[in-house]
Amino acid sequence: MARNKIALIGAGQIGGTLALLAGLKELGDIVLFDVAEGVPEGKALDLAQLSPVEGFDAAFAGASSYDAIAGADVVIVTAGVPRKPGMSRDDLLAINLKVMEQVGAGIRKYAPDAFVICITNPLDAMVWALQRCSGLPPEKVVGMAGVLDSARFRHFLAEEFDVSVEDVTAFVMGGHGDTMVPLVRYSAVGGIPVPDLIRMGWTSEERIADIVQRTRDGGAEIVNLLKSGSAFYAPAAAAIAMAESYLRDKKRVLPVAALLDGEYGLRDIYVGVPAVIGARGVERIVEVELDRSERAMFERSVAAVEGLVEACLKIAPGLGK
């Protein structure tokens, strides 16, 4: 059986880490594409020289022309500009929207059968634009944010309870931004929901509220520490988990930005929801019951995403048409 082909559009901090992880997991042969001269080729060569040390087989290639991604099974998009300190994700909108138009056209022409994962910020608006510009079916175009946001939540909860991260499940819904919705009620340690752990005296409501806030600010905390650029290890790992679930038809239930078509009472909007990711892409969107306050947080988050999409349409009224 031929190896899968994974195309990484953007060979920056996340792109390079994606290539490393995809190689280590032997997910397929990897093409790094970037507009920065020499960077994709340099990283591809460096990674190819790592493969004998780590003992895996994968071909790495660097490219600056879209024909190199022809026939890709998975395309992961990080092309664009990352956030700098003091810059909101929304400030990135206008610059990265132009990039999505170019990338979408490249995918439409050369990789129309791929499963596409967008990471570029502001995430929910960029994945919406990328789906429109690529013309691929909505179930084959998703955004990565929820896996990362819930990993941050899981890490903080594991630290709080002094238990293995493996035994902490958590999930975060809504848009990827300051209005994301970490759902405490659906988060658990060894199957025990966090509200029960509060009742059992393992922690307090106040400490959980702080953890929820730290999760919401998780990206900014790292941006402020790094001073240039934003998080890249965990974002790359999160996207690789999604790619692996698709390529190996694992049918994992992961929070992803998916195009809604009536679920949660919404249509034509990308927002973070739990979904089954398998060989058909987004195979099913899970509609969880939200209580009144969770619903209110979700609606606020959706309104923020709608604002971004409107801003996109103002900049490019005929986007993808």
**Residues in contact with ligand A3D by the rule CB under 6 A:** 9-15, 34-36, 39, 78-80, 82-83, 96, 99, 102, 119-121, 123, 144-145, 148, 176, 229-232, 235
CB of 205 to ligand A3D, least distance (A): 27
* Catalytic pick among 5, 43, 176, 216: 176
Query: Is 176 labeled as catalytic in the residue annotation?
Result: yes
Q: Cα 96 vs. chain centroid, distance in angstroms?
A: 15
Least Å from the CB of residue 36 to ligand A3D: 4
Quickly count: other Cβ atoms within 10 Å of residue 224's Cβ.
11
Strands 281-285 and 267-278, bridge-based pairing: antiparallel
Distance of closest approach, residue 200 Cβ to ligand A3D, in angstroms: 33
Rounded distance between C-alpha atoms, residue 21 and residue 5, angstroms: 14
SS3 140: helix
Q: Is 206 left (phi over 0), alpha (psi -120 to 50) or beta?
A: alpha
Evaluate whether 18 touches 236 at the Cβ level (below 8 Å). Answer: yes
User: Which residue's C-beta sits nearest to ligand A3D?
Assistant: 12
Distance of CA 189 to CAs 151, 164, 194, 210, 234, Å?
14, 9, 7, 18, 21
Instruction: Report in angstroms how near the CB of residue 197 gets to ligand A3D at its nearest.
Output: 27
Q: Which residues are catalytic?
A: 176
